[in-house]
Chains A and B, each alone.
Chain A
Amino acid sequence: MRTRAILGSILASASVLIVGYQAGTAVTTSNGSSISLPIGGTTAGSSGSGSSTSAAAPAATGPSDGTYTGASVNTRFGAVQVQVTIAGGSISKLDALHLTNADGRSVQISNYAAPILRSEVLNSQSTRVSNVGGATYTTQAYLTSVQSALDQAGA
């Protein structure tokens, strides 16, 4: 009887774990794509801000001056949305409209990662910046949102 209980326990636990892990990796794949492409939350994004003046300067090769609201990118820790201001053809200001905030820990991570991301993007004038350790989701969503704003600006 003991043997039956032990074997049954091992079998039940192992199968539960395997199913959980399989389900988890399936979720990951779909999550991964939602980070590189803002398919999850483009509803609020891509609508250019009212102060946008991009239409006035179609001939310019660089980004047009103005303020652009990036796409809202959903992550499992909450949505991220960034507003980008272009002045004199370069990125002059970044405002985080929304950051990962699903739980207390996410808020803490956002508060720590957002200033680093902002200064790195301002320094490099691009979204090609390195990942902020411990804030992978926030980094990827932040950069995706910034990139979508830059796309609107025609950069």
Chain B
Amino acid sequence: MTTQVRTRATNSHPQPAATNDYRRGYSRRARRSDLFVMMLWASGAAAAALFLASGGAAQFGSIAETLTSIGIITGLVGTDFILVMLVLAARIPLIDRTIGHDRAIAVHRSLGKPALYLLLAHGVMLLVGYGLSSGINPIAEIGPMLALPDMPLAFIGLGLLIAVVVTSVVAVRRHFSYEGWHLVHLLSYVSVAFALPHQLSVGGVLADGTVQRIYWIALYVLALGSIITFRFAEPLVSSLRHRLRVAAVTEIAPGVTTIQLDGHALRGLGASGGQFFIWRFWTPQTWWHSHPISLSAMPTESTARITIRELGAGSARLSAVPVGTRVSIEGPYGLFSEAARTSPKLAIIAAGIGVTPVRALLEHAAFAPGEATVLLRASTPEETYHWDEIRAIAEAKGAACYSMIGHRPRRGDSWMAASDVARGVTLETAFPDLADSDVYLCGPTAWLDLVEAEVRATGVRPEQIHAERFDW
């Protein structure tokens, strides 16, 4: 089975690309990424500028007016951030190809609190501003404010947004199951919907019938349209087209299972080795839970394979799904693939269940014999999942493959096995060409942080490092 998969994939390989192509590809991605950053900030500025342009600039005469105007601007910029967050969470292919799913979500997260603070400031400043202009205190102003049409909905929307952001703060999120958190997170759609009417009726900002109105409608259409297209429509069409079903479930080590899938036209998925899909297994016990899991082998036209380790209750149930179960997918996602290459050589370090995307990456990657080095890391001999397959691929494609089994040393912050540290093994001895390599790292967060810090310390440029952390 494995041999067949490999042979087919090898045939479809791109020829080893010249370094120039990698460099050019990278600078194109970097340009696009910078452009996205500029668009993010410019969209916030545009929200404020359009308000100023359509008469807002005159609204700074008195303290009450100034507070009201600033309150309106914070509301507009906050709303802009929320819509940008929706765009970032929509898994738009162009964004995924440019910065990768992980970074898109990281930016999405980093905007959450600023957006909430801006919208809270919006509420407070308008209460104070309105209160000052009618000569009552801000608390008393809540009454007249709620009397305005659509304002009660807007208050509820803000309340929902507070719930969404608070449950996403790391310390709080830890107390929730993924599903519980996700359910609360879905309320952000309701929050956006509840806030919309008051923007149309109270502010009068969107009802002006000007550029401002066009801008905001375009932004809403972009945000909600990309969510509907790429989170719902595209996955549905893809799932129906590829008709994936479970073909075999095999336990390859205690708690580690491979799931073999059958489907149609799977090459059409356009998946690269190292990418992941979000999987949903349609059994009564598992349908409500989706799992981001990397391919552990390149798909053929009719088969695909994933390998999972029981980390949570959800993935434990996956190892018991019956053969024939329908599977729906979203993806492929991620830049942990050939698409992120910048350099001629490859250095791959993977630990534990982190070997799965690396297994597919090595199979798919373009390199000449002698240009790739793989280091496989495990604490115990039981955790050497798929190592035999990786060794076979490395041998067939001319990559060096090292393995390192054993616990980390008690002292210091080495990510290597204690015995190898004692022998004098270092990052440089294992990877002499690190400076000319793309470094792919995959494994548990705590371990990976150590590896990444050491790789960075050697002076490797940030864009050469591609890391995927295994925990949710």
Contact = CB atoms under 8 A, between A and B. Distances in A.
A127 B55 CA distance: 26
A31 B56 CA distance: 12
Contact of A134 (B35, B53, B57, B134): B134
A13 interface: yes
Interface stretch (B15-23, B58-66, B328-336, B447-455): B58-66
Interface stretch (A14-22, A43-51, A90-98): A14-22
Contacts of A33: none
Interface residues on chain B, size class: 35 or more
Contact of A31 (B42, B55, B144, B207): B55
A7 to B, nearest CB: 9
Contacts of B463: 1
Interface in A76-119: 76-77, 102-106, 108-109, 112
Contact of B201 (A8, A31, A103, A136): A103
Nearest to B41: A9
Interface in B255-271: none
Given A103-B201, A103-B207, A13 B57 contact: no
Nearest to B206: A103
A134 B64 contact: yes
* A1, A27, A31, A76, most chain B CB atoms within 10 A: A1
Contacts of A135: 133
B150 A104 contact: yes
B52 A21 contact: yes
A24 B57 contact: yes
Given A20-B49, A103-B204, A104-B202, A133 B62 contact: yes
Interface string B141-158: 000100111110000000
Nearest to B44: A13
Contacts of B315: none
A21 B49 contact: yes
A28 interface: yes
B145 to A, nearest CB: 9
A24 B58 contact: yes
A5 interface: yes
A55 interface: no
B202 A17 contact: no
B38 interface: yes
Interface string B126-141: 0000101111000000
A125 to B, nearest CB: 26
Interface string B308-332: 0000000000000000000000000
A105 B61 contact: no
A17 B45 contact: yes
A57 interface: no
A17 B48 contact: yes
B213 to A, nearest CB: 13
Interface string A124-151: 0000000001111000000000000000
A59 interface: no
A12 B39 CA distance: 8
A116 to B, nearest CB: 11
A6 B58 CA distance: 30
A102 B65 CA distance: 18
A28 B30 CA distance: 42
Contacts of B61: 136
B304 to A, nearest CB: 35
Given A1-B33, A23-B52, A13 B42 contact: yes
A17 to B, nearest CB: 5
Contact of A27 (B39, B44, B57): B57
A15 B5 CA distance: 54
B418 interface: no
A15 B381 CA distance: 60
Given A103-B207, A104-B201, A105-B203, A12 B41 contact: yes
Given A28-B57, A76-B55, A105-B204, A9 B49 contact: no
A22 to B, nearest CB: 8
B134 A5 contact: no
Interface string B451-472: 0000000000001000000000
Contacts of A77: 204
Given A5-B34, A9-B38, A23-B53, A103 B48 contact: no
A27 B65 CA distance: 17
B206 to A, nearest CB: 10
A20 B147 CA distance: 32
A6 B42 CA distance: 11
30 contacts: A4-B34, A5-B34, A5-B38, A6-B37, A8-B38, A9-B38, A9-B40, A13-B41, A13-B44, A13-B45, A16-B45, A16-B46, A20-B51, A20-B52, A21-B49, A24-B55, A27-B53, A27-B54, A28-B57, A31-B55, A104-B149, A104-B151, A104-B202, A106-B204, A108-B148, A109-B133, A133-B62, A133-B64, A134-B64, A136-B65
Interface of A: 1, 4-6, 8-10, 12-14, 16-17, 19-21, 23-25, 27-28, 31-32, 76-77, 102-106, 108-109, 112, 133-136
Closest 10 CB pairs of A and B: A134-B133, A20-B49, A24-B57, A103-B204, A13-B45, A23-B53, A9-B41, A28-B58, A5-B34, A24-B52
Interface of B: 30, 33-35, 37-42, 44-46, 48-58, 61-62, 64-65, 130, 132-135, 144, 147-151, 201-204, 207, 463
